[in-house]
Amino acid sequence: RRSPSEAEARAEAQALSPSRTLSRTTQAQAQAASMESSEAPTRSGGCLCGGVAYVGRGVPGVQECHCSLCNRWCGGPFNAVLFPAGVEITKDDTLSWYASSAWAQRGFCTTCGSDLFWKSGDAMAAALGTLDDYSDLPGPMKQHIFWDQK
């Protein structure tokens, strides 16, 4: 597989931006929930060993990225959960960040190796499988990016 060009990687960053990935209905719900972040719905998650934990706020949007960077990072498409009101890292004992490109970083646990976060600027996504419970999220997956690299 080839590495994405700078333009493709920027498109990845733009595609993963919460405002571009959520449907209008979901955006409206997220904005309403985000008005008062203390009142926004929350979801918790973390790594396998417990060294990293986080809380996501707002109605999450979910997408699957097929770019070559995500495929190499997590061994397949990255199932991203985007929280419109942000992600608060509540425990970072074993969290480390890798600059996978000039505009994006990937967060992982240095003890158990869990792939946890993707971030670029103010946008940050969590890996779907790191949520403590995602059974009630809408499915099947409806949003894919970099499908042509699948």
**Rounded CA separation 72/63 (Å):** 17
Between these two residues, 77 and 90, which has the higher pLDDT value? 90
pLDDT tens for each residue of 104-148: 999 999 999 999 999 998 889 999 999 999 888 866 556 666 556
Q: Which of 49-63, 65-79, 93-107, 129-143 has the lowest mean pLDDT?
A: 129-143
By DSSP bridging, strand 61-65 and strand 144-145 are parallel
Residue 138: is the preceding peptide bond cis (ω within 30°)?
no
* Neighbour order of strands in the sheet with 95-99: 95-99, 105-109, 115-120, 123-127, 78-82, 61-65, 144-145
Q: How many CB atoms lie within 10 A of CB 132?
A: 9
**Rounded CA separation 44/87 (Å):** 9
Instruction: List the structure tokens of 127.
Output: 């890996």
pLDDT for the residue numbered 77: 82
Instruction: List the structure tokens of 139.
Output: 């499915």
With a cut of 80, say whether residue 5 has pLDDT above it.
Answer: no
CATH class given for the domain over 6-149:
mainly beta
Q: What sign does the dihedral 65-12-124-98 (CA atoms) show? A: positive
Instruction: List the structure tokens of 113.
Output: 């190796």
For the chain, domain boundaries: 6-149
pLDDT for the residue numbered 66: 84
